[in-house]
Structure 1
Amino acid sequence: MSGEYLLPLAMLAAMLGGILIGYPVALVLGGSAAVFLLSSDLPASFVNLMASRIYANALGNWLLVCIPMFVFMGLVLERTGTAVRALTTLQTAMGRMPGGLAIAVLIVGTLLAAASGIVGASVVLLGTLAVPQMRAAGYSRPLSAGIVCGAGTLAILIPPSIMLVLFSDLLNVSVGDLFAGALVPGLILAGSYAVLIAVWALLDPRAAPRSALGGVSAVAMLRDTLPLALLIFCVLGSILLGYATPTEASALGAVGSLVIAAFTRTLTPRLLYETTLQTAYTTAMVMLVTVGATCFSAVFRGVGGEDMILDGLKFLQLGAWGTLMLLMAVIFVLGCFLDWLEISLITLPIFGAVIGNLDFGFGLSQQQTLLWFAVLVAINLQTSFLSPPFGFSLFYLRAVTRDVLSNRDIYLGIVPFIAMQLVVLGLFMIFPGLIVWPVK
């Protein structure tokens, strides 16, 4: 093998090894960049270039302002009990349907996804509230685990998703186009989960029995679900209709969540303190990883990493579709071991440049191709929260249901949902028009 690729290969090995042994991801990325920068023959001016890139990509990027806003909105909705009331009401209303409790969990999970974009909060909330009720109603452990994990991970795909905000910056695609392009896939994926629940209940009625719950009035239904639905409409509607930028809409969502808290008399100084502190912690984590990944990406390209990948793809001669399938397979496998944030920040700047210049026979422009690719990656990365051994949703659910669900129950439950995600991924690979319609 030519010695010109020894440095980028060693850099990849050091990065993956550091992450897999449990070292903090931001420090692994930044530390690897520093070590290999000193080990290479890159000029001293490269340090200034890397510093300017850090400022432009992370510290001075106004687009990333919407990350703390959306995080704050989701935390307020969680801690004020807005989502809890919606879940309880829907579970009571739909309990008598076959699989009704599971579908109620799915509906609330979809609403939470559109209201917050925070997977951890959604899975913990649904696991804490829904799993005991489904078990009390006689639902099987695998189905209870599967629907909570599946519905909770919709938060990473359905707008306003933090992941899509980062994708916009990494691939130079409009956030509004990404939100619009991901909306249909997110809703179709949620609908496919509902079909999966119905089929599961039909094939194994004992896994999803009818409940004795029922009889919610229309007034109670509106009272408990309308505030959440209105907030989602205001945030997403203002973006999709062109009345506000994503950053402005995120501020609208943060203020709207406080208005709901005030009307429900749950707005307290303690609530503001806790949500603000957690927002700062989450935002700092995302930004620190972003800075580390920016350094890693810059040095990796500088030592020939991008040329190595492009030469490898040319050598394999896979064609456009073969290249896309290979990249999807790599991202899926990485999702079994790494978080979506590391995968996105490491792979998209390089893979996006490759995919954007390929012709898939659909007559798409470069911007449409990048939008299509971004949403496909988003659907693919959703599996990273479910894929053993390091699926974060599995850890979240196990932590809050330790006395109810075993690891075996959770693993058995998530397999059908991963399979459904892959089917939906294939569907949107074949029909890109369902994604790229916002870009003319």
Structure 2
Amino acid sequence: MTNDRIEELLAKFLAGDISADEKAELEQWLGSDDRHNIFQFVHKEEWVKKGIAELDRIDVESGYEKYLNKFQPAEPPFPDPVEVNLHIVPPRRRWLLIAAAAVAVLIFSLGSWFYFFRTAPVQQAKDDPASRYQNDVAPGGNVATLQLADGRTIRLDQSANGLLADEGAATVQKTGNDRLEYNTSTTSPNKGEPLYNTITTPAGGQYHVVLPDGSRVWLNAGSSLRFPLSFTGNERKVMVTGEAFFDVVQVKRGKQKLPFLVSIQQYGYTNGEVQVLGTRFNINAYDDESSVKTTLLKGSVRFVPEAKPQLASLIIPGQQADYYQNGTLQIRTPDTGSVAAWKEGKFNFQNESIQSIMRQLARWYNVKVIFKDSIEARFVATFPRNIKMSEMLMILEKTNIIRFSIDGQTVTVMR
């Protein structure tokens, strides 16, 4: 049974809307060997009770009551009821269904997972995990470097709050919540060629910038943003590498709205452009990813591939423009909460391959990742970004299909 089907059946069970055929299908899966990796770490009753207690958005008691009313005989409401042949769930089977519901609770409310794809048999680790986690890696933080127009550089994480620079018509301030703010004088505009600043985050760094027009940008690890100290022309244009989340404000000059343009750099050259008026969106353009992803949360943007402008596409909230190295463009409907989770201090993996997961962890924890074995596995998981790396890896190991070791700044992935 596929993971999507398992999730669907569990969700229907929790809602009390599962049909007799679907119930039989769920029972068959519960009786198969596939459930081993699900129940092996939630077999204790207290785990089940804790999972049910943590669930906020699904009323398990109500859902289970619906289940009982639907699949167990009730007192006939009329003298001559229609006879229906129902299969009553035995006590042991009913317990497995309750456990399945509890697993789903743990998935959605405790930040765990319950399914994955695999192409090879599970190999139970016989070694001591502690021996592979003698080293550990701390999470990233608010670390960035600012390059001023005159060539000077400032380590933002080592700078005191307050005024950092005064260039042209702009002042640069570092606020108490590790945010960079630009304020531009309207009475003393820049003359001559525009002046630019660049903020760069290393692996293990992130930062929040308020641009001269009031637009906000969050930079993920291993990213950069280049922007002018004042937007004086008929457009507002910036350049980004890596990953950034934009919250763009609308700006008018007279009656004309000034468009906001994001030039996307990948592999050392311009790969595309996002054209905006006022909106919230995420751009992912890392060099180690196979595509540039522009995901829209609010408003309206147009993605224009540099090499194939004829493929320019307008996307609406909830959509993602995925532009590949081979020149193809696909419009998808991803889990937007997962895409922007990093900005909220979380990792939110939704059916992600272990390769994709490790690329994200490598950037945030500033480590090198080596795959010792060929592993095809996909996970659903949610983790805070402020925990040590070993905590996250040891939880992933509970699937019994994957193991890790940490040696300095190198993480090895193996069966």
- Larger proportion of strand: 2
Q: Which has the higher contact order (CA 8 A, sep 6+)?
A: 1
The structure richer in helix per residue is: 1
Which of 1 and 2 has greater Rg? Answer: 2
* TM-score for the superposition, normalised by structure 2: 0.21
TM-score normalised to structure 1 length: 0.20
